[in-house]
Amino acid sequence: MSNTEINLKSLIGDNTREEFLKLLKSKTPFISHGNSEALKDLMSLPFLDSVESLAACWRDTVDVFHPKIADEISKTSIPPEDALHEYKNGSCILFNDVNRIIPEFDLWNQQIRRDIGFSELTYVRNLVYATPAGKGNAPHFDQNFNFVLQLEGTKKWWLAENNTINNPMTRHVIGHPVDDELGRYSAKEFPQSFPADCTEYILEPGSILFVPRGVWHMTEAVTDAVSFNFTFTPPTWIDIAMTALREKLSHSEQWRETVIIDDKGTHNSEFNKLLNGLSADVKNWNAVDFLDITEHQEL
C-alpha cells in the first residue's frame, strides 16, 4: 500500500471544508464522481475487489436482509459462504465494521472525523453493502452521517428532505413502528410513503454520495452493486453533557450511593439534597469544563 492519505478532502469533491460544513449543517446532500484516483489506496485493496474476495477473507458473520423488508431492521447473521449464496439468489448483504480488517481504515476514519470537527466520542465505522440488480433499501432515514463510495456496479439513490423531525437520534423505516423515544419528541406524524419531492442520484464506481443525518433515502441497484460506507455517528450536546456530568458526579460518594425507593419517601429528601447541591454547582460550569472531559483525550 502506498502512503496516499485518505482524508476529508478525498471525500468532498470540489467543496472546501467550509463549503462542506455548510452542507452538513443544512442537511444538504451532494454527489461527486470520478474519485477512484483519490481513493485508489482503498479501491485497489484486494479484498475489496469483489464480494467473493471479501467473503473469502471475512472472519465474522454477514448480515442478510429479509427480501420483503429490505432493511437492517429485519436481518439474519450467517457465515460468509452462506451469505454469498443468498446474495447470488437475490438478497442484499452487509459486511459490518469492515474497519476491523486493516488498521488503515481506522486511521483514515479518525483523520476524516478530525477534519470535520466531530467529537472524539463519535462512533465511526465502515460498512460494505452488496446489492443484487433490481434490489435495494427500503425508505428510511438514519441518525448518522454517511459518505457512500460506489466500488462496483451502478446504483440509484433517491433522497428527500425530512420535514417531520430535525436532528433525529434514532433511525426510522417508513411503514414500521416508530422508536418510543423518537415518537415522544416528534410533534408530527411520520409519512406512510416516500416523499414525492425527492432527488435521484446515480452512483457509478468512484462516485461518492454524502447522505446527511435525518435525510430520507431509498435505493435500487441497476446492476449488481457494491458500495463502501464511511459512517459517522457523532454525539449530540445531550451525549456530551451526560458523559461529562457522569464523570463529574462519579467523584462524589453521595452521588454513587445505591438508590433505594422506600415507602416513607426518604429517597426524595436525599435526592433533593443532591439536586440542590448540583444546581448550585452548575452555575460555575462552562463549556470548557465539559469538553475538557470528552475531548483532547487522544494521545
We find the least distance from the C-beta atom of residue 217 to Fe ion, in angstroms, to be 6
Distance separating alpha carbons of residues 274 and 127, to the nearest angstrom: 44
We find the least distance from the C-beta atom of residue 274 to Fe ion, in angstroms, to be 41
Residues near Fe ion (CB under 5 A): 142
Residue number with CB closer to Fe ion (11 or 240): 11
Instruction: Give the three-class secondary structure for 137.
Output: coil
We find the least distance from the C-beta atom of residue 264 to Fe ion, in angstroms, to be 51
- CB-based burial, 48-78: b 16+ in 10 Å, e otherwise: beebeebbeebeeebbbbeeeebbbeebeeb
What is the grid cell recorded at 77?
447473521
What is the grid cell recorded at 241?
453533557
Residue number with CB closer to Fe ion (144 or 240): 144
What is the grid cell recorded at 297?
483525550
> Can you point out the beta strands (E) in 135-292?
140-141, 145-152, 155-160, 172-173, 198-203, 208-211, 216-221, 225-233
Residue number with CB closer to Fe ion (150 or 240): 150
Residue number with CB closer to Fe ion (108 or 141): 141
Residue number with CB closer to Fe ion (31 or 291): 31
Q: Which residue is nearest to Fe ion (CB)?
A: 142
We find the least distance from the C-beta atom of residue 239 to Fe ion, in angstroms, to be 21
Residue number with CB closer to Fe ion (142 or 224): 142
We find the least distance from the C-beta atom of residue 42 to Fe ion, in angstroms, to be 20
Distance separating alpha carbons of residues 257 and 264, to the nearest angstrom: 18
Specify the long-range contacts of residues 277-281, CB closer than 8 Å, at least 24 apart: 278/249
Distance separating alpha carbons of residues 7 and 39, to the nearest angstrom: 10
We find the least distance from the C-beta atom of residue 287 to Fe ion, in angstroms, to be 32
Nearest to 185 by CA among 209, 216, 224, 214: 214
